[in-house]
Amino acid sequence: MKRSLTSIVVAVAVLALLDGTAGAQPGHRQPAIALSPLGAIGTGERSFSLIARAAGVPPASLNRSLVLLSTKRAVEAVTPLSTRPSRETRYRVADPHLRFWLAFLGPHLPEIERGRGDLTLARLRASWLAWRGRAVEPVVRESLRRLPERLPAGTGAVGGYWTRNSDVEIDLVGADREPIAKTVTFVGSIKWQESRPFDVHDLGRLAQHRDRMPGAGADTPLLVVSRTGSTVDGLAALTPDDLLTAYRVG
């Protein structure tokens, strides 16, 4: 409960800051142009066009909003990591507490205030597994950056790869540098399910996407991070316990 209350306080503080109500002088309130785009990103929209459509704002206004959100470190802009330049920027809420708030709590405060928090909880339970699977991706990437000894030699950056229409999506990409790599050192998958481990079907899908990624090919090493391990022999696989070693001291 204490952690939940802390998350709510953090979310409210950030929203107030973006709205210009925190520290603003009377009569000098900043324009609240960032709230609607932030809400759109928080509910799952990631590309510029989809955020604009969900928020109902013109491109010029959205550009200003995204600059403000990035300056406040509320939103991160990421691009695909490969040997080819890309403009397919995606946006995500940087703070996990705020991300959770925007996805499950903020939009439904009226029903919570009416005493129908049970509806909010039911919605959360129905969407939790899918939301968690995507929310864990930046956490896994950051953990791998802290574990260079577990990655192929020459890895200096860890990111992901996707195309405009998302027909190719790779959760993990290792490279010598970013944002444009000279060498791709590995590609990988994140599988964060309750009971099903990474299997040969997942391996086949990953290999297909690897073959369509600039800078990667049949000889590019594969890496898997799975909550429940892997059933594929000879495949480099890390578990949550492996990731936790990145944060242990001594």
| Residue-range domains of the chain with CATH | 2-78+92-137 (no CATH), 139-247 (3.40.1350)
More confident residue, 34 or 44: 44
- Judge contact between 190 and 140, C-beta under 8 A: yes
Give the mean model confidence (pLDDT) for residues 221-229. Answer: 96
Asked if residues 24 and 44 have their Cβ atoms less than 8 Å apart, the reply is no
- Which pLDDT tens digit goes with each residue over 98-133? 999 999 999 899 999 999 999 999 999 999 999 999
Residue of 101, 96, 44, 32 lying closest to 69 (CA atoms): 32
Does residue 35 or residue 130 have the better pLDDT? 130
- Judge whether residue 9 has pLDDT over 70: no
Strand partners, 161: 170
User: What pLDDT is stored for residue 5 in this prediction?
Assistant: 46
Q: Which H or E run includes 200?
A: helix 200-211
